[in-house]
A = this chain, B = another copy of it.
Amino acid sequence: MQATRGSGGVKVTGPLLAAASAEARVRLLMNAHALAVPRGRLIIAQDAEADRLFILLQGSVGLGFADEDGAATMVEILAPGEAFPLSAALLRLPHPVSATALAPCRLVAIPAEDLREAAAADPALMHTAIEQMTRQWRLLADQVVDLKTRDATQRAARFLLRRLSAPRGAVEIPEPRGAIAARLGMTPESLSRALHGLEAAGLLRLHARRVDVPDRAALLRAAQPRAGASQGARRV
């Protein structure tokens, strides 16, 4: 199968492939194949062997953690362009998080073997892979800070802000509310109240699977912790 274009005519891109040398890219895509996944489908089971690297082209993928005692959490929600599970595929390790399609997805699967060979042969690719892993770490660190220092409304606001770069515009929210609530560390009820609270404050306008933000700066202001907030905050 021709993999430089997904079956929908979508160009296969992302930081990883962009950084790879021409030869490395050929190796990566040689045995790659595109696939479409319907919403709700499990893409990677928890603790499964990482035999393929996925690159998300379209849609939304949730990284979940199911504790041995049944507690499940959404650790991260991936946007198009992201590759996963990078480190597990590089190290040929089982990866402890499951991946689920939170919206209809289109992705590319690359054999882990090819990734390893390409990374070993191409320093730039290896460098970018490390960069991506570093980025993932920082995103998680941000999330930890959010959970420790910001309340439900602020977290909801920041979630929307991360999806909006323009000073005003629409944010698409294809994933179910419950998944977003799990990602933000709150119940669906609380998320609903937070969102409607922001709407009542005139900071956004809610639609079915879209949110309109009239003024990014104003929403950003609402996402900041009130002065004097503390909690996990500490000066040692």
Per-residue contact bits, chain A 78-94, to B (CB 8 Å; 1 contact, 0 not): 00000000011011010
Contact of A127 with B by CB under 8 A: yes
Are B141 and A234 in contact, with the CB atoms below 8 A? Answer: no
| Copies per complex of this chain | 2
Known contacts A69-B225, A234-B74, A236-B62: does B141 contact A141 (CB below 8 Å)?
no
In the complex, what distance in Å separates the CA atom of A172 from the CA atom of B231? 25
Q: Which of B96, B141, B236 contacts A179 (CB 8 A)?
A: B236
Q: Which residues of chain B are within 8 angstroms of A40 by Cβ–Cβ distance?
A: 236
**A185/B72 contact (C-beta < 8 A), A88-B134, A102-B236, A123-B120 known:** no
Seen from chain A, the residues whose Cβ lies within 8 Å of a Cβ on chain B are 40, 62, 64-65, 67, 69-75, 87-88, 90-91, 93, 96-97, 100, 102, 120, 123, 126-127, 130-131, 133-134, 136-138, 140-141, 143-145, 147-150, 176, 178-179, 181-188, 224-225, 227, 229-236
